[in-house]
Amino acid sequence: MSDSTPFTLFANGTSLPWADVPEWPVADLVRTTADELSRGARLCAWFGVPEGDGVSLVAIIAFDSDTTLATARSAPIKGSYPALTLLQPQAHLFEREVWEQHGLVPEGHPWLKPVRQTSGHAPANGKFFRVQGSEIHEVAVGPVHAGIIEPGHFRFQCNGEEVLHLEIALGYQHRGVEAALAGGPHRATISQIETAAGDTTIGHATAHATVMESLAGTEAPLRAQWLRAVALELERLANHVGDLGALANDVAFLPTSAACGKIRGDFLNLTALLCGNRFGRGLIRPGGCRHDLEPERARKLLSSLHSALADTEQAAGWFWAANSVRTRFEGVGTVRTEQAAEIGLVGLAARASGLVRDVRFDHPAGWHRFAQIPVSVWPDGDVLARARVRWLEVQRSGKFLEEQLAAAPEGDLLTNVGPLPGGTLAVALVEGWRGEVCHVAITDAAGHFRRYKMIDPSFHNWTGLALALRNQAISDFPICNKSFNLSYCGFDL
Amino acid sequence: MFVLDTIAHRLRRGCQTMAYPNGPAPALPDRHGGALRVDAAKCSAGCDDCVKVCPTHAIERPLGGPVALDLGKCIFCAACVEVCPTKAITQTNDHRMAVRRKEDLVLGKPGEEELRLAAELDAKLRGLFGRSLRLREVSAGGCNACEADVNVLGTIGWDLSRFGIQFVASPRHADGLLITGPVSQNMRLALEKTYAAVPPPKIVIAVGACAIAGGPFIGNPEICGGATSVVPVDLFIPGCPPHPVTILDGLLRLLGKLEAR
C-alpha cells in the first residue's frame, strides 16, 4: 500500500529533516491524506506548525501492514481549509484542536467546538447536541465524579432509560503541557512528560526518550531498551488488573474486585522495586534508564511477579466462571469493527473490536524489534470483549516478562544525548496500556522544540465510548466507561 | 458450587489487611528514599549545583545565603541528592511527610533540617471527625497517580474504612475535601462550588506535589498553582505521588490516631 504513496516514508523511532517533509497545497494534503486513510492507513497525528504569519498542517499517518509511517505537510495557510473530517471521521477531534490552537477553520466540519480552552474558570464547552422530542430528557454528569477519578462532563440525551446520544466534554484537566514543552527540552520536560497521563508514565517517557534519541542520532544502550520494555509490561499489568477489578466492582462481583484491587498494588510495587516510584517516575531518561535491574533484584521481581500472576489467574477465574458477570457484559457497549476503523480507535479498545492494531507488533522500535508479543484480539466489540482482551494481554505480558527476565542483555544503562540538530522532525509510537502513545517533535534552527505534539491513546478513543453508549441503557454507562477507562489528563494535556 | 468455591478461596487467603498502625509501617521501596533532609551548614560556599538541576525550582540559594529546599514543590526525583558534592541533601527513608502548614516543608535552616510533622486537629474537630471522617475527592488537574494511590487505601490491603474514613459521592455528605492536582484554571469553578457545598465545619487535605504548589507544572498559566490558591488547606501531603503509607500516615496523624509515632 505504502509503495505508491506521495508521502515521505519513515520508520517508528526515527527522524528526518523537516525539509524532507513534502509540502503541498492544503487541498492536496487533505485529499491525499483522505485517500491514504481510505486505503487502510491510519491517522496518528494532524496538527499545525506556525510558519511565518501562517500555519502549516502536518499529517502523520501509519501504514500498519507495511510497518511504516508517513508524513507530509501543507504550505502555510491562513483562514480556512476544506475539512478532512468530512471524508474521514477519525480526523474530527484533531481538526477541532487545530481550530482551537491556530484559528484555522476546517470548512464543513460537522461539530466544530472547543476541545479544552478556558472560559471563566471552566472549559468552554460550547453548545451540546440536543435530541428534540417531548419524551426526551437530558442527563448531565460531572465534572466532579462520584469516585476518586479525574473530572470530565458527560451529557446524555435519553428516551426513558435508553441513551440516544452521549456527548463527552473534556478540558477540565488542561495544564498547558504542550505549551510548556515548546522551546525545550527544559529541566522540567521529562517530569512533565511523566505526568502527562500519570498512569502511563512509562509509555509517555519511553516515547519522549525515543524522540530525543532519534533527534540526536543516538540510541539508548540495549540494556536500557530492554528495561523499558520490561517496565512497559509492568505498567500494562497493573492497569489491566486494576481495570478487571473495577469492572467486577461495577457489576457488584466483589470477590474479583477485592482481589484485583490488591493485586494491582502488587504490580505497582514491582515498578517501585525497579525505580522507587510505583508509577515508574525517574526510571526513564533520554539516553537510557537511571536505575538498573541487578540479578538479585531481578530474581526478587520474578518471584513476586509469579505470585501476583497466580493471584490474578485465580481472581480472573472466578470472574469468567460467573454467568452473572458474562450476562452483564455480553452485548453491552458494542463498537463494531467498521465503526472502530472509521473513528480510528487504537489499543485494547481497537483490538476488542477485532482490529489487529498494536504498535509493539506493527511498528516495533526499541526492544520490541527483538522480542515480540502476540497481538490479543477479540471480535465482538462489547464490554466483555474489552475485558477479555485485558485478560489475554495480562497473560501475554506475564509470559513476556518471564522470558525477558531470564535473558537480560548486558551493558551500560545510560548514554549521553548530545545537542539536538536544528530543523528535524522525529516521531515515536509506543503501545501504552491503553494504546498508541504518539510523540512528534520538530526542532527549530537552534535545536529547541519548535513544536512538541503528544497524542495520548485517549484522544482517539473517547469517541469510541460515546458510540458504545448509543441505544444502551444509561445504567450501563459505568461498565462501558470502565471498559474503556480512558485518561482525562492525557486528553486535556 | 460456585458460591462455595468462592468462600473457600476467601477462607484460604485469610485476612490480607496490614497490621499497621498497630504493627510496623510497610517499608518504602528501597529506591524511594523517603523525605529529604537538608543540612545547609554543610553546603560549600558558592555551590548551587542542586538549584540548577531541580526541575520544579524547589531549591533556592540566594547569593551568600543558605540553601532552602521546599518539599512542597519537590517531586522527589533525587537529582539534587545525586549532584550534591557535600551530602548536604540526603534521603531519610522516612515515609512520614504530612504537615499542617506549607512553611513546615521548607528545609535547610538550623533546627529546620527536616520537615515539621503535622499536629492533630483541635479537640473539637477531633471530636467531630475522629471516629468518622467522610471525604469528597476532587481531582483538579491530577494525573491519576495521586488519585490511584488514594484509591488504593480503600483496597483490602489498607482498608481505610477501619479508621472510619470513607470517600463519599457527594459534597453534601462530606466533612471535607481531599484535593489532588495543581488546580487547573478549568477546574477552579468546580472546586469552588464543591467546597461551598460541603457543610461546615470542614477540612481540606492537599495530596501530592501538584496540589501543594503545582508540581511539574509549576508556573504554567493554565494552572492556579495548588489548592491554597482557591481554598484553605489543613493538611499537606508531599510526593509525586505520595506513597499510600505516606497518605495514610497524614490522615491518621491529623485525626490524632498515631500519638507519639
| Calpha distance A71→A60 (Å, rounded) | 5
Assign A142 a pLDDT band (cuts: 50, 70, 90): confident
The answer to the question of residue B15 being in a domain is no
CB A390 within 8 A of CB A240: yes
Q: Residue B49 contacts by C-beta under 8 Å, 6 or more apart in sequence?
A: B80, B83, B84, B85
User: The complex's ipTM?
Assistant: 0.95
- Clarify whether residues B53 and B94 are in a common domain: yes
CA geometry: angle B88, B91, B96, nearest 5 deg: 130
- Clarify whether residues B166 and B237 are in a common domain: yes
Q: Domain residues for B75?
A: 36-107
Measured between CA atoms, how close is B136 to chain A, in angstroms? 8
pLDDT of residue B142: 96
Residue in chain B lying closest to A291 (CA): B31
pLDDT of residue A220: 97
CB B44 within 8 A of CB B85: yes
pLDDT (average), residues A171-187: 95
The 10s digit of each residue's pLDDT in B28-83 is: 999 999 999 999 888 888 889 999 999 999 999 988 788 999 999 999 999 999 99
The answer to the question of residue B233 being in a domain is yes
Range with the poorest average pLDDT among A68-72, A270-274, B8-12, B114-118: B8-12
What three-state secondary structure class fits A406? Answer: coil
Assign B261 a pLDDT band (cuts: 50, 70, 90): low
The answer to the question of residue B54 being in a domain is yes
- Clarify whether residues B246 and B141 are in a common domain: yes
| Calpha distance A294→A301 (Å, rounded) | 10
| Calpha distance A393→A373 (Å, rounded) | 9
Closest to B156 (Cβ–Cβ): which among A242, A261, A277? A261
The answer to the question of residue B161 being in a domain is yes
Question: Which chain A positions have a beta carbon within 8 Å of B243's beta carbon?
Answer: 278
Measured between CA atoms, how close is B236 to chain A, in angstroms? 18
**Which among B44, B76, B107 is the end of a domain?**
B107
What three-state secondary structure class fits B222? Answer: coil
The answer to the question of residue B31 being in a domain is no
| pTM for the model | 0.97
pLDDT of residue A249: 95
- Clarify whether residues B160 and B211 are in a common domain: yes
Closest to A192 (Cβ–Cβ): which among B184, B187, B216? B216
Question: What architecture is the A2-107 domain classified under in CATH?
Answer: 2-Layer Sandwich (3.30)
Closest to A121 (Cβ–Cβ): which among B141, B157, B185? B185
CB B150 within 8 A of CB B207: yes
User: Which residue, among A267, A272, A221, has the nearest Cα to A245 in the 3D structure?
Assistant: A267
| Calpha distance A487→A462 (Å, rounded) | 9
| Domain boundary assignment for chain A | 2-107, 177-492
The 10s digit of each residue's pLDDT in A281-330 is: 999 999 999 999 999 999 999 999 999 999 999 999 988 988 999 999 99
Assign B1 a pLDDT band (cuts: 50, 70, 90): low
- A177-492 in CATH: which number? 1.10.645.10
How does DSSP assign A103-124, residue by residue? --EEET-TT---SS-BSSSSB-
Q: Is B9 close to A122, i.e. CB distance below 8 A?
A: no
CB A411 within 8 A of CB A222: yes
- Clarify whether residues B135 and B92 are in a common domain: no
Measured between CA atoms, how close is B125 to chain A, in angstroms? 24
Measured between CA atoms, how close is B220 to chain A, in angstroms? 7
- In chain B, the percentage of residues whose pLDDT exceeds 70 is 98
Domain count, chain B: 2
Closest to B147 (Cβ–Cβ): which among A121, A150, A281? A150
Q: Is B184 close to A180, i.e. CB distance below 8 A?
A: no
| C-alpha cell at position B27 | 517499608
Closest to B147 (Cβ–Cβ): which among A149, A179, A275? A149
- Clarify whether residues B99 and B128 are in a common domain: no
| Residue B57 belongs to domain with CATH number | 3.30.70.3270
The 10s digit of each residue's pLDDT in A417-464 is: 999 999 999 999 999 999 999 999 999 999 999 999 999 999 999 999
CA geometry: angle A336, A457, B168, nearest 5 deg: 95
Question: Which chain A positions have a beta carbon within 8 Å of B56's beta carbon?
Answer: 188, 191
- Clarify whether residues B84 and B127 are in a common domain: no
How does DSSP assign A218-284, residue by residue? ----HHHHHHHHHHHHHHHHHHHHHHHHHHHHHTT-HHHHHHHHHHHHHHHHHHHHHHSSTT-TTTE
Phi-psi category of residue A344: left, alpha or beta, with phi > 0 → left and psi -120 to 50 → alpha = left
Measured between CA atoms, how close is B79 to chain A, in angstroms? 9
pLDDT of residue B260: 58
How does DSSP assign A330-399, residue by residue? TTSS---HHHHHHHT--HHHHHTTT----HHHHS--GGGGTS-------SS-SHHHHHHHHHHHHHHHHH
- Clarify whether residues B247 and B168 are in a common domain: yes
The answer to the question of residue B140 being in a domain is yes
- Clarify whether residues B156 and B237 are in a common domain: yes
- Clarify whether residues B133 and B245 are in a common domain: yes
Total beta-carbon pairs less than 8 A apart between chain A and chain B: 195
Most B CBs within 10 Å, among A115, A192, A193, A277, to test the B interface: A277
Q: If you count them, how many residues does chain B have?
A: 261
- Clarify whether residues B49 and B164 are in a common domain: no
| Residue B140 belongs to domain with CATH number | 3.40.50.12280
Residue in chain B lying closest to A172 (CA): B186
The answer to the question of residue B207 being in a domain is yes
pLDDT of residue A208: 98
User: Which residue, among A149, A191, A204, A261, has the nearest Cα to B144 in the 3D structure?
Assistant: A149
Mean pLDDT of chain A: 96
Q: Which H, E and C letters describe A313-328, residue by residue?
A: HHHHHHHHHCHHHHHH
Q: If you count them, how many residues does chain A have?
A: 493
**Which among B47, B80, B107 is the end of a domain?**
B107
**Residue A237, CA distances (Å) to A224, A251, A432 in order:** 20, 22, 11
- Clarify whether residues B46 and B145 are in a common domain: no
